[in-house]
Amino acid sequence: AARVIGMLDPGTARVRISLISKPAGTREVGAPLRYVVQAGSFSDQQNAEQLRNKLAAYYPDVHIDQLDADHRRYYRVRMGAFPTRSAAEARASDTARFGFPAVIITE
């Protein structure tokens, strides 16, 4: 790319970047960030469902997201999405009383 715009020597150059495509499942360019609280990630779907059921007794927005990576499938127990980090932090703090290490994920 540097050769095409004639910038092989040290220095800077003005460039324009255009988005051609974005990865599936990612937010739209310019869309506000969302925050989710992840209470666990499991390779065994039954373990994820047990945690979801336990947390669903207290929170209405508990769900399981499936992730396929490196020829393995993971089941992530998540809550939200929250419009602000502080709202996600409040949920994570409240969830900690159950002894689960909640992690805040930005999407």
Task: Output the pLDDT for position 16.
Answer: 80
- Which tokens in the block code for residue 89? 């932090």
Collapse the DSSP code of 51 into the 3-class scheme (helix H, G, I; strand E, B; otherwise coil) and give the result.
helix
pLDDT band at 77 (very low <50, low <70, confident <90, very high): very high
Inter-residue contact 84 to 41 (CB < 8 Å): no
Map tokens 């945690």 to a residue. 51
Inter-residue contact 35 to 107 (CB < 8 Å): yes
The per-residue pLDDT for range 4-21, each reduced to its tens digit, is 877 888 888 888 877 777
Candidate from 29-33, 39-43, 86-90 with smallest mean pLDDT = 29-33
Task: Output the pLDDT for position 25.
Answer: 64
**Domains of the chain with bracketed CATH:** 35-106 (3.30.70.1070)
Question: Rounded mean pLDDT of the chain?
Answer: 89
Inter-residue contact 25 to 55 (CB < 8 Å): no
